[in-house]
Every structure is written in C-alpha cells, then in structure tokens.
Amino acid sequence: MAVCQDRVVIVTGAGGGLGKAYAELFAAEGAKVVVNDINEKAANVVVSVIKEAGGEAVANTNDITDYEEAALIVKQAIDSFGDLHVVVNNAGVCRDRMFASLSESDWDMVMNVHLKGHFCISSHAVKYWREQSKGGKDVNARIINTSSGAGLQGSIGQSNYAAAKGGIASLTLVQAAELARYGITSNGLAPAARTGMTEDVFADMMKKPEDGFDYYAAENVAPLVVWLGSEAASGVTGKLFEIEGGKLSVADGWRQGPQKDKGARWDVAEIGDAIGSLIDESVPAQKVYGT
C-alpha cells in the first residue's frame, strides 16, 4: 500500500520547486493534496498533473501570512477531503541584502512569509487536531517545517532570511514538545535544491547536468518529506533534517557547552579570562555561509 494512502495534506508554495515535488509525490503515495500557492495558474498546473496521474488534489490561493485566510486553507482541506493529517510549510521568499543595507520592508516581507506563515496555518491545523484529540479521536498528525542551512549557521547577505529560518528551527522544537499530547509531531528540514529561490543565486553550482544524477533536483528532497508525513513517522518528532542530493543527516542543535562555576558572583575583571578558557574548550561552530 502507498505510504500516505488517504492522508490529507496541505503543501504551501506548491506551485513550483520543492513544493511541487512534494505535492506530486504525496499524491503518488496515495495522499489527497491541497496545492497552495499565490500563483493560481501554477497551482492549477500542479493539480492537473496530479489528476492526470490518477491522484486527488485541489488548488488553493489563500495568503498564508494572513491569519484568517490561513484558516480558509485548512477549511478547504476538510471540506474537500473530510479531514486533515499533514501540513507542509514550504512557501518562502528572499530579499537578500547586507545587513547595513537591509530595509524594514525587506525584513518584514521575509519574516511574514517564512515565520508568520509557518505560524498562521499551523495554528489553525493544531486547533482542529486538538479538538479531535479532546473528542477521543486517535490523532496521527504532522507539521513539517522548512528551515535552512542559513538558519542553522547563518549566511552572509541573508540576515533576515537566516533569522526567520532560525526562528522556524526553534519553533519546531517547541511544537514537538507541546503538541505530542495531541498526537501531533513536528519536524523540520534544511533542504538544498534547485528552486526559484536558489537557481539565480547559485545558477552555476546548481545547473542541471546533461545526464546522470541530478544532485540538486527538488525531487531528491521529496521522499523525506513524504515519509515524515506518513503514519510510519509517528515516533519521530523535534528533529531537523539536512538533505542535499543523496545526503541525509540529522542536525545537531544548540546544547550547553563547557562550563565554569565560580560558586559566587563573577568580577568584571575575571570574565575575560573565563570566557577565553571556555572558548578554547568548546567545539567550534560551523562557519557562517559566505565566510
């Protein structure tokens, strides 16, 4: 049997790139998919592809950054297919600038689409699942968030994007801790793939090869996302996966490092030596992208 047979899935930003690959593979694995994208034509094309392959899907163009409109996405999934099991928060945008040149609008746009967008739709989905759980239903639901290597290590020229993606990584941890009681898991991923957001910036590196393995194809990321959305993934939560080509790993997040305890208040004059010693003892962080 297909791994997501009859599961109802919302994929945001599914009109192209990674979201398109996710939506199509979810449908191929038996899911009923709400293809959300602000580009109506792109969303309809993906729905047509899914239906032509024998799958089930509907298009949705509601704005994930508007709380009330995000509720309509969840409502459409339930009205169309009778339930909801998975939310894949994929939609994104870039407004890259060096920090000294970053405008308020650059900051707000990226925060709204990434961080607020993750909140809005997930909030409505969680309320639906919580009511199901309180009503005695055995909920087996999924939130799948999209962070980035920029959110884990930082990235030159992307302070707004890195801050949003770092926030999403932390959001994932808290969702996993709080929502397990309702039968909801929350995981994230930091994918590397050729999409509308990356193909211009990394055009040479991500260029599609004439033959052989297409390392940066969005389709390489989709199997992880579809598996995380399946019932088989019920025991996995609070994790952030990095995936690139055929490489798959679990990110090793922030943890308390070396510690010195004086047992009393530190003097200002002592702090410098203590910090120098702690830095020498700690494992160096990965370098910020672009340095």
* Domain span holding position 194: 8-250
Kindly state whether residue 79 falls inside one of the protein's structural domains: yes
In a domain, 269, yes or no: no
- Does some domain include residue 261? no
Q: How many domains is the chain built from?
A: 1
From the list 107, 145, 105, the residue with the least C-alpha distance to 237 is 145
- What per-residue confidence (pLDDT) applies to 230? 97
Which of the residues 148, 155, 159, 186 is marked catalytic?
A: 148
Beta bridge partners of 249: 242
27 with 253: CB under 8 angstroms? no
Query: Where do the DSSP E strands lie in the chain?
Result: 8-11, 32-36, 56-60, 86-88, 141-146, 184-192, 240-244, 247-250
Strand partners, 143: 87, 186
Q: Say how far apart CA 268 and CA 112 lie, in whole Å.
A: 40
**CB–CB of 159/230 below 8 Å?**
no
Band of the pLDDT at 254, cuts 50, 70, 90?
confident
What's the chain's average pLDDT? 92
Domain for residue 228, yes or no? yes
**Are the C-beta atoms of 3 and 233 separated by less than 8 Å?**
no
258 located within any domain:
no
Look at residue 248 in the predicted model and tell me its pLDDT.
93
Assess if residue 243 is contained within a domain: yes
First to last CA, the chain: 47
Query: Quick check: is 291 in a domain?
Result: no
Tokens matching residue 24: 């199509």
Is 134 marked active-site?
Answer: no
What CATH number corresponds to the domain at position 211? Answer: 3.40.50.720
Contact 150, 159 (CB under 8 A): no
Q: Which of 22, 128, 161, 216 is catalytic?
A: 161
Interatomic CA distance for residues 48 and 130, integer angstroms: 33
- Maximum separation of any 2 CA atoms in the chain, in Å: 71
Q: Is the dihedral of CA 214, 215, 216, 217 positive or negative?
A: positive
Q: Which two tokens stand for residue 112?
A: 């709204």
Name the catalytic one among 20, 32, 165, 239: 165
Tokens of 80: 């169309």
**pLDDT tens sequence across 198-253:** 445 455 555 666 677 788 899 999 999 999 999 999 999 999 999 999 999 999 88
The whole-angstrom separation of Cα 291 and Cα 287 is 7
- Residue 133 belongs to a domain: yes
**Active site includes 247?**
no
- Does residue 161 carry a catalytic annotation? yes
Question: Among residues of the chain, what percentage have pLDDT more than 70?
Answer: 94
